[in-house]
């Protein structure tokens, strides 16, 4: 499974629920890269050279790591990719590499949320630096006793959110028609209570 959606669509919340419900592994491309570097695998060493040089890790290296990771026993029941692919060329390369390796993506879930609501959601977020808990001034107000220590992240300003949403539309959104053409895209309305959105996702995924 791949979970897709613009920044602020609620992917983090839904990902945690789905991996728990379906008992599948959550594979974050960032965590995977760091783990491979720490373990000193061949691909991890290669990736580390690019990162130390301040360069992006090439898609073929990331895809190689994904193939290694999903071949491990703990992915036998399924997995959810997070953070990759972010562009159509990455989606096409990943699909071809997985096909050659005998794997395939069954579902790509797209959480759809209007841009105006994305801005409101992101700009209202506040993080508790002591517990890591994320609150929202409107949708999930913090308790009075912790309110004074909450932090407003730099990437949750109107300007930053607008930039991130524009980047999503220009770079990531083009993967949607690619997966739609493969017949595995599932569109889900991401507006409303998180519990209701979870129910919508599980409904489109069926059995």
Catalytic residue among 17, 34, 88, 164: 164
Distance CA 81, CA 4 (A): 10
Q: Which of 17, 34, 86, 167 is catalytic?
A: 86
Two tokens, residue 153: 């992240």
Question: Which of the residues 38, 149, 153, 203 is marked catalytic?
Answer: 153
Q: Return the SS3 of 39.
A: helix
Q: What are phi and psi of 106, to 5 degrees?
A: -90, -40
Q: Tell me whether residue 69 is one of the annotated catalytic residues.
A: no
Structure tokens at 154: 């730099």
Instruction: Give the helix/strand (H/E) hosting 112.
Output: strand 108-112
The closest alpha carbon to 125, from 150, 145, 143, 160, belongs to: 150
164 is catalytic: yes
**Distance in angstroms (rounded) separating the CA atoms of residues 141 and 187:** 29
Considering the candidates 11, 69, 126, 200, report the single residue annotated as catalytic.
11
- Of 121, 125, 126, 186, the catalytic one is 125
Is position 125 annotated as part of the catalytic site? yes
Residue 42, CA distances (Å) to 30, 46, 49, 117 in order: 17, 6, 11, 43
Tell me: cis bond preceding 191? Omega within 30 of 0 counts.
Answer: no
Q: Which residues are catalytic?
A: 11, 86, 125, 153, 164
């Amino acid at each position: 499974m791949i979970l897709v959606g613009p920044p602020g669509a609620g992917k983090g919340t839904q990902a945690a629920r789905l991996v728990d419900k379906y008992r599948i592994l959550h594979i974050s491309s960032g965590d995977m890269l760091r783990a491979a570097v720490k373990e000193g695998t061949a691909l991890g060493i290669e990736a580390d050279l690019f990162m130390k040089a301040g360069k992006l890790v090439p898609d073929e290296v990331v895809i190689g790591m994904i193939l290694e990771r999903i071949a491990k026993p703990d992915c036998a029941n399924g997995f959810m990719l997070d953070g990759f692919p972010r562009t159509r060329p990455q989606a096409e390369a990943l699909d071809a590499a997985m096909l050659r390796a005998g794997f395939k993506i069954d579902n790509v879930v797209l959480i759809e949320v209007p841009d105006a609501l994305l801005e409101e959601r992101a700009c209202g977020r506040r993080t508790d630096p002591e517990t890591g808990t994320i609150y929202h001034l409107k949708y999930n107000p913090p308790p009075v006793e912790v309110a004074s220590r909450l932090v407003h992240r730099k990437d949750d300003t109107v300007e930053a959110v607008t930039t991130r949403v524009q980047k999503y539309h220009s770079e990531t959104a083009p993967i949607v028609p690619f997966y739609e053409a493969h017949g595995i895209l599932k569109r889900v309305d991401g507006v409303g209570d998180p519990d209701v959105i979870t129910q919508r996702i599980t409904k489109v995924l069926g059995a």
